[in-house]
Structure formats: structure tokens, C-alpha cells
């Protein structure tokens, strides 16, 4: 048999996960949700479900230690996992931390990493309860698993969006991506001429958004206070386009979003223009904002209207209407997923 072998980059991340996991067989009735959401859901009893999520960060792929201080990296590694727990409308309670580390690192460097991990545990009120430590041939790998809890009736899956629901995002978008552009520009300049000092002036906000992202645990608490249970929710780790497509696919719906409604900080727009980039493209295809995208019935509009943390960017439609961005002139642009960046 001469079946053609496929290269990983022919598939892309999501098709690869689908291919590898299609034979997965769920054996336990309390496995309520397995693969396919921000976290798996495991039923405990009528009042409580456990949610579990895991994420891995690789040196040279997800972070560059030339500009990422280890303390920030430790914080970020926890925050991105807590963010996936928040995306289920749940509360993170415990994490495990596994590291693979090469001999180029000192004990003090690893202590710095853990300072950041501990700081994030304080900020998000989670306990570090275990992990694994091993050697790596090159560079640093951090894999964190986060465990959280939620009342079963409050879980927000990707799959619950309904026609006419409002699409809401928290905070502002695109800043982390622009922060990365500034850092990469300065890195390139430094590599060409190590005597040139990095010029990061005026970019504090976007740099902080890249180097020290915050998981929106405050939003989960706020939704509880407002008595709003999202019909669906996801965290924005890969760019708005990809996350909207996840919700629409999982919920079998379409949507319209409006580019003039997208929350973009003035500092993000200014940096984008400096780099000859369209701010809206940065929002759609940039990543690492770690804000939340959720849907909610229009009847709840009064509860979120005017809330400075939440912006309505569009609405859910019937699946047959497709997934579109409407621009200022009223033209519709199809929203497409970006290819996998990591191969
Ligand atoms: P997120 O962006 O929220 O971290 P991912 O896109 O990484 O989610 O993953 C999507 C889903 O696929 C999740 O349910 C995740 O647990 C699952 N998944 C990812 N990689 C694997 C793998 N190698 N084996 C099994 N499940 C996986
Ligand atoms: Mg996620």
C-alpha cells in the first residue's frame, strides 16, 4: 500500500486535533464535555461540576526570553490557563505546573519564573498543587493544568449561542498583538546592532498587554452579580476571527459583527498605523488578548448596556447567513480562520 504520508502543516491545528482524537471513546457518564471547549466538564453532583484545561508554552514558539522576563512568563502561563476556566464561566481553584528546562538556566532564573507563578496564584486565588520537573535538550517548556468549579446550570459552552443573541466582548482587542510587533521590531534592531538601546517609549499599554495579560476572572464575578449567564462563551487567545468561528461552528449559527463597534484602544490603533497595519485586521487575526467573547439573549441588553467592560459587537444569525464582518460602508467581508502559526 502506498498511502501518501501527510505533513502536519497540511492540516492545521484544529484539523490535526480532530484527526488525532476522532477515536476518543467517552466511557464515564460524568464526563459531560470532553474535547472541544475551553475546558472539559466533569460532573460531581447536582450542585457542582469540575472544569479542567491545559496549555503548554514553548520557548521560541510562544515566548522569547530576549524580551520576556521570566517573572512575567510565569504569571502569563498561569493567566492563560485561568482564562480558559473563566471562559466556562467557572472559578479556577487549583493548578499543576510542569516544566522541562535545559542546562542554560540557573536556579535563580527558575525561582524568578516561580515568583510570577506565585503572584498569579495570589491574584486569581488558586492553589499550586503539583506538577512535574524534567530536563529539556533546548530551552524551556511550561505546561499548566488548571482545575475549576462551577454550578452546572451556569456553565457557558461554546455551543449555546442562539439566533438573535447579542455578541459581546470584554475589554479592548488587538493590543497584545501590537505589543508583540514593537518587541519583535526592537529585537531585530538589537540583533543587527547590539549597541542600540530599545525604543519602547510610549508603548507601555500595549507592551503590558503582551507581557502581562490578565485573565478576566473579574468578568465572571461581574456576570454573576448582574445575573447574566452567557448562552455561549470563549476566551480570545487566537484572535477574534478564530474565536467567533469556534462559537458559530459549535452552536450551528452564523453572525454579523460590525467593524466600527470593535473596541480598540487608541494606543493600539496608533501603533498599528505606525506599522502600516489595519487595526481591525490586528483585532481579527492577532492573538493573546485573553478577553472573553460571549453571547446573550437581547432581553438582557439592559443589564450590560453602558458597562465599560463590555461591548456589543454584533449579533447571532441563522447558520445559513454565514459569518460576516460588516464594514463602515456596509460591505460584508467573510470571516476566515487564520492558518496555524506554529509549524
Ligand atoms: P484553547 O485555545 O481554548 O486552549 P485548543 O484550541 O488548544 O483550546 O483546544 C481545543 C480542544 O482540543 C480542547 O478541548 C483541548 O483540550 C483539545 N485538545 C487539544 N490538543 C489535544 C490533544 N493533543 N489531544 C487531545 N485533545 C486535545
Ligand atoms: Mg480558550
Write down the pLDDT at residue 174.
Answer: 97
Distance CA 62, CA 213 (A): 14
Strand intervals (E) in the chain: 31-33, 40-43, 49-58, 91-101, 127-135, 141-150, 166-170, 232-236, 253-258, 291-296, 310-318, 323-326, 332-334
* Contact between residue 86 and residue 219 where contact means Cβ atoms under 8 Å apart: yes
Write down the pLDDT at residue 267.
Answer: 97
Ligand 2 midpoint to CA 246 (Å): 10
Ligand number nearest CA of 215 is 2
Ligand number nearest CA of 292 is 2
Distances in Å between the Cα of 333 and the Cα atoms of 58, 110, 199, 256, 257 are: 34, 46, 36, 10, 10
Distance CA 189, CA 199 (A): 10
- Cell for 280? 481591525
* Contact between residue 130 and residue 280 where contact means Cβ atoms under 8 Å apart: no
Residue nearest to atom 6 of ligand 1 (CA): 14
Q: Is the pLDDT of residue 341 over 70?
A: no
Ligand 1 midpoint to CA 81 (Å): 12
Ligand 1, pocket residues at CB < 6 Å: 17, 20-21, 35-38, 55, 84, 237
Distance CA 152, CA 44 (A): 9
Ligand number nearest CA of 86 is 2
Distance CA 343, CA 341 (A): 6
Residue nearest to atom 19 of ligand 1 (CA): 17
Q: Which residues pair with 294 in a beta bridge?
A: 168, 233
Q: Which of 152, 209, 153 is nearest to 180 (CA)?
A: 209
Mean pLDDT of 269-273: 96
Ligand 2 midpoint to CA 303 (Å): 25
Write down the pLDDT at residue 201.
Answer: 82
Q: Can you give the pTM of this predicted structure?
A: 0.95
- Cell for 59? 520557548
The per-residue pLDDT of the chain, averaged, comes to 94
Q: Is the pLDDT of residue 342 over 70?
A: no
| Segment 176-198, tens digit of pLDDT | 999 999 999 999 988 888 888 88
SS3 256: strand
Site to probe by mutation for ligand 1, drawn from 18, 21, 35 as the one with most ligand atoms within 8 Å of Cβ, is: 35
| Segment 272-294, tens digit of pLDDT | 999 999 999 999 999 999 999 99
pLDDT band per the 50, 70, 90 thresholds, residue 91: very high
Ligand 1 midpoint to CA 30 (Å): 19
| Segment 124-169, tens digit of pLDDT | 999 999 999 999 998 999 999 999 999 999 999 999 999 999 999 9
Distances in Å between the Cα of 234 and the Cα atoms of 21, 116, 180, 199, 262 are: 21, 25, 22, 35, 17
Amino acid at each position: 500500500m502506498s498511502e501518501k504520508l501527510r505533513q502536519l502543516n497540511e492540516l492545521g491545528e484544529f484539523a490535526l486535533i480532530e484527526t488525532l482524537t476522532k477515536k476518543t471513546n467517552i466511557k464515564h457518564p460524568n464526563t459531560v464535555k470532553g474535547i472541544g471547549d475551553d475546558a472539559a466538564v466533569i460532573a460531581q453532583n447536582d450542585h457542582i461540576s469540575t472544569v479542567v484545561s491545559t496549555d503548554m508554552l514553548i520557548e521560541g514558539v510562544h515566548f522569547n526570553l530576549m524580551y520576556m522576563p521570566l517573572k512575567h512568563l510565569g504569571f502569563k502561563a498561569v493567566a492563560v490557563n485561568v482564562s480558559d476556566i473563566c471562559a466556562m464561566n467557572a472559578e479556577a481553584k487549583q493548578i499543576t505546573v510542569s516544566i522541562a528546562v535545559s542546562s542554560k538556566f540557573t536556579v535563580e532564573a527558575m525561582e524568578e519564573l516561580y515568583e510570577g507563578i506565585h503572584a498569579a496564584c495570589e491574584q486569581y486565588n488558586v492553589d499550586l498543587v503539583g506538577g512535574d520537573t524534567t530536563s529539556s535538550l533546548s530551552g524551556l517548556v511550561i505546561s499548566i493544568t488548571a482545575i475549576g468549579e462551577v454550578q452546572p446550570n451556569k456553565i457557558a459552552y461554546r455551543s449555546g449561542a442562539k439566533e438573535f443573541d447579542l455578541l459581546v466582548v470584554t475589554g479592548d482587542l488587538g493590543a497584545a498583538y501590537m505589543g508583540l510587533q514593537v518587541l519583535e521590531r526592537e529585537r531585530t534592531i538589537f540583533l543587527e546592532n547590539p549597541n542600540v538601546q530599545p525604543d519602547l517609549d510610549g508603548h507601555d499599554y500595549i507592551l503590558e498587554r503582551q507581557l502581562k495579560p490578565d485573565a478576566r476572572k473579574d468578568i465572571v464575578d461581574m456576570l454573576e452579580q448582574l445575573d447574566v449567564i452567557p448562552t455561549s462563551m470563549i476566551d480570545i487567545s487566537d484572535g477574534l476571527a478564530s474565536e467567533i468561528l469556534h462559537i458559530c461552528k459549535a452552536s450551528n449559527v452564523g453572525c454579523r459583527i460590525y467593524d466600527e463597534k470593535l473596541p480598540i484602544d487608541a494606543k493600539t490603533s496608533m501603533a498599528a498605523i505606525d506599522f502600516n497595519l489595519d487595526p481591525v485586521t490586528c483585532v481579527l487575526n492577532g492573538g493573546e488578548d485573553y478577553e472573553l467573547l460571549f453571547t446573550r439573549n437581547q432581553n438582557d441588553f439592559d443589564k450590560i448596556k453602558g458597562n465599560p467592560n463590555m461591548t456589543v459587537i454584533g449579533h447571532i444569525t441563522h447558520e445559513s447567513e454565514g459569518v460576516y464582518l460588516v464594514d463602515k460602508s456596509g460591505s460584508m467581508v467573510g470571516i476566515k480562520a487564520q492558518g496555524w502559526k506554529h509549524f
